[in-house]
């Protein structure tokens, strides 16, 4: 499809809260207990029955002495995917193996080293991820690169987001650390009163200019478990009737980071930047592919502008359930050592799966470029 013009931002952003139950359109603050605001130093040093952390320079930090960060500034975004050769000669030469996980979402690639890509290859990478929604690259060297090199690679795709509450890599605030420590039993306490840890969300969707891509690379993982699931929000839109699609066009929803900030403070964590709310269209158009996607999620979406509470709650619940139950347009990525997963936040939602009971560490690093302000193009009947 033909690319569409991108828009620039006017409001200032903040970072992500964690999602709520599928069946509830309001934030589920109980789930924030699953997200730590500190680490067990003895466990990470190998003194509590599990091996020491292999990548100690990637352990999360929360510097409570640092001054508050300013609001994020608007910028003019240009998606590199617009410049790509869509035959992917630099990204997927004949020696590379690509396997699609499902017809509409998810691919696995072996035989190319991302860190060696030229600018042309990186543009092709942006286009491939926009098209396939989520792509897992196996046997990568990201985890063993100097952290700054991984950061510089990701910066090609846009200004890098700094999370306001999560643990960050020391000296590299652009790197959000996804870390469940060795022997962490918080999930057992959670399951005493709940049945599922699934948290569907699009990363920091409350920002004025939300993320385009996310880079997530594994450092350590459980032997089995800890996968990540993704849903294709483009196919979710396509499954709706034309009449319903048309009704959604023109509606906007409020996305908020306030609950995440409050939850962090309640757990003894920090808030690096003032929390924000922003309105985004419920039907979002991708700047490269022109595809339309549903852009609401139970983690950060709070209400539909102009509707009464009961109306807004009912419509949001339908959309959340529609995406969450859509197993026929979802993909599951199993982590392997050396895996880098990239996904497009504008057209997907995802959730980690906290399903292992071995007490093993799950440790990953996330770098998140920001993109254009969400925009909508007119409804077109098919």
Give the residue numbers annotated as catalytic, written as ranges. 201, 203, 350, 366
Token pair, residue 274, equals 């003032």
Q: Residue 260: how many CA atoms within 13 Å on its side-chain side?
A: 33
Instruction: Please name which of 79, 139, 92 lies closest in space to residue 287, comparing C-alpha atoms.
Output: 79
CA distance 316 to 134: 24
* Residue-by-residue DSSP string for 145-210: S-HHHHHHHHHTTSPBP--SSS-EETTEEEEEEEEE-TT--HHHHHHTT-S-----B-TTTTSSS-
Question: What is the C-alpha separation between 329 and 229, in angstroms, rounded?
Answer: 11
Residue 380 burial (CB count, 10 A): 10
Phi, psi for residue 281 in degrees, rounded to 5: -65, 145
Q: Indicate the length of the chain as a whole number.
A: 382
């Amino acid at each position: 499809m033909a690319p569409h013009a991108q828009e620039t931002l006017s409001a200032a952003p903040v970072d992500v809260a964690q999602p709520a139950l599928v069946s509830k359109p309001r934030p589920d603050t109980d789930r924030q207990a699953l997200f730590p605001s500190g680490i067990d130093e003895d466990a990470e040093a190998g003194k509590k029955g599990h091996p020491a952390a292999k990548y100690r320079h990637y352990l999360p930090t929360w510097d409570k002495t640092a001054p508050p960060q300013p609001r994020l500034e608007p910028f003019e975004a240009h998606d590199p995917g617009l410049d790509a050769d869509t035959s992917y000669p630099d990204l997927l030469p004949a020696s590379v193996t690509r396997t699609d996980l499902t017809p509409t979402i998810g691919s696995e690639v072996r035989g190319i080293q991302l860190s060696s890509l030229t600018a042309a290859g990186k543009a092709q990478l942006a286009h491939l991820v926009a098209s396939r929604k989520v792509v897992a690259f196996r046997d990568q060297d990201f985890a063993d690169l100097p952290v700054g090199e991984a950061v510089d690679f990701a910066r090609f795709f846009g200004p890098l987001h700094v999370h306001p509450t999560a643990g960050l890599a020391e000296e590299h605030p652009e790197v959000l650390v996804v870390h469940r420590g060795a022997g962490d039993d918080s999930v057992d306490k959670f399951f005493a009163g709940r049945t599922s840890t699934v948290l569907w969300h699009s990363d920091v969707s409350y920002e004025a200019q939300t993320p385009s891509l996310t880079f997530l690379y594994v450092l350590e993982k459980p032997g089995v478990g800890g996968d990540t699931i993704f849903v294709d929000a483009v196919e979710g839109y396509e499954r709706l009737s034309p009449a319903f699609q048309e009704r959604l066009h023109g509606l906007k929803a409020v996305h908020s980071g306030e609950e995440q900030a409050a939850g962090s403070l309640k757990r003894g964590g920090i808030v690096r930047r003032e929390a924000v709310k922003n309105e985004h269209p419920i039907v979002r158009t991708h700047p490269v592919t022109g595809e339309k996607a549903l852009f609401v999620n139970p983690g950060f979406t709070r209400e539909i502008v102009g509707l009464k509470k009961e109306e807004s709650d009912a419509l949001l619940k339908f959309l959340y359930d529609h995406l969450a139950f859509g197993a026929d347009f979802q993909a599951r990525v199993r982590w392997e050592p050396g895996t880098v997963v990239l996904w497009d936040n504008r057209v997907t939602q995802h959730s980690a799966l906290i399903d292992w009971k071995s007490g093993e560490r799950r440790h990953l690093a996330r770098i998140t470029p920001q993109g254009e302000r969400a925009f909508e193009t007119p409804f077109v009947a098919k």
